[in-house]
Amino acid sequence: MQSSYQNRLEVLLHLLSSDLGQQKKGTEVAKAIQSSQEHSIRLFEQTYQETPKEFRKRLTLERAAYTLSRTEQSITSIALDAGYASLEAFTRAFRKAFQVTPTAFRATRTPSFWLPTENGIHFAPGTLRKEAISLDLIDLLFQHDFWLTRKMLEAAEKLPPDQLDRQVGHMHIAPYYKPAHTLREMLDSLIADKEAWLSALHGQHWTEDQPTTLPDLKSRTHRTYTAFLDFASTIKEKGEWNVEFVDAVCTPPETFTFKGILAHVITFSAIKRQHLLDAFRVLGVDLGSNDPIEFERL
């Protein structure tokens, strides 16, 4: 029974991820798995936390974003390939998803073409990419970081609101990080480190004054994770580990290698996650250890 269920899911994934930009009828999908249209939609949504329509739209926009950032294809052509009747309709949908216009996205250095999703399945050239499946060490470290950060945010949602702002520790691990004493401040610091580096890489000014409600923290986590994993993937593909980057935002400007940035982020993320786990224990919540092996065994 389990094998049959899994086979149906694989058929659904294959059908819904193929021919992006073209209309895919629900009856066609239902017939392929020998089920009713309502059941196929419910099966997919229960497993992947998206309706088939939402899934296809997200993958189509991710493919469009990939094409924008990796090719010189015209935006109008990309819009038509994505199944939109006009450039205006595509621009509205793209801006709603990525918070920037297609033109601005194309101008961004090393942009992430992944959109936030609970199921972790994304467009990749010629296939799908599952976030949690990778043999690469860099991917594993960032995936573990994202997984544990999300786990902590979910635990924070279950706490009484006043406990988020109660002093539960002292996190001041380097002179360039402001001290953090509450869960909210520590979670903000964990996310902000990646945001600051991404802004520097894109030549943008970044401010520490970011929204810190739990929904905002979750949204910021998704954005920074996908952007950093895409940045790391680009560096690997091009073999640019030793390329030097001048951070003009620093006073005075400083030079870093791409591999140094990745090593810095994952190292300090691990330290901050440990402070957070200890802070949760002060509040009576045990979220386990900071060990990537726990994530790898899932």
Calculate the average pLDDT of the chain: 82
Residue written as token pair 């979750």: 218
Is residue 284 predicted with pLDDT exceeding 90? yes
Q: Model confidence over 215-237: pLDDT tens digits?
A: 999 999 988 888 888 788 777 76
Q: Model confidence over 17-58: pLDDT tens digits?
A: 777 877 765 555 556 555 666 766 777 777 778 888 898 899
Residue 230 has a CB neighbour count (10 Å cut-off) of 19
Looking at residue 134, the DSSP 8-state letter turns out to be -
Q: Model confidence over 66-81: pLDDT tens digits?
A: 899 888 899 999 999 9
- Whole-model pTM: value is 0.56
Query: Which among 123, 35, 46, 32 is positioned nearest to 81, based on CA atoms?
Result: 123
Give domain limits for the chain.
Answer: 2-98, 137-296
pLDDT classification of 3: cutoffs 50, 70, 90: very low
Is residue 276 predicted with pLDDT exceeding 90? yes
Q: Model confidence over 79-119: pLDDT tens digits?
A: 999 999 999 999 999 999 988 899 988 887 656 788 888 77
Peptide bond connecting 215 to the previous residue in cis, omega within 30 degrees of 0: no
Cα–Cα distances in angstroms (integers) from residue 99 to residues 102, 130, 237, in the given order:
10, 24, 26
Residue 215 has a CB neighbour count (10 Å cut-off) of 10
CATH, domain range 2-98: 1.10.10.60
Quickly name the fold that domain 137-296 has.
Four Helix Bundle (Hemerythrin (Met), subunit A) (1.20.120)
- The pLDDT score that the predictor gives to residue 246 is 78
Lowest mean per-residue pLDDT among 146-160, 177-191, 198-212 = 198-212
The strand ranges marked E within the chain are: 121-124, 127-130, 244-247, 254-257
Q: Are strands 127-130 and 254-257 parallel, antiparallel or unpaired?
A: unpaired
Cα–Cα distances in angstroms (integers) from residue 195 to residues 112, 237, 278, in the given order:
13, 23, 24
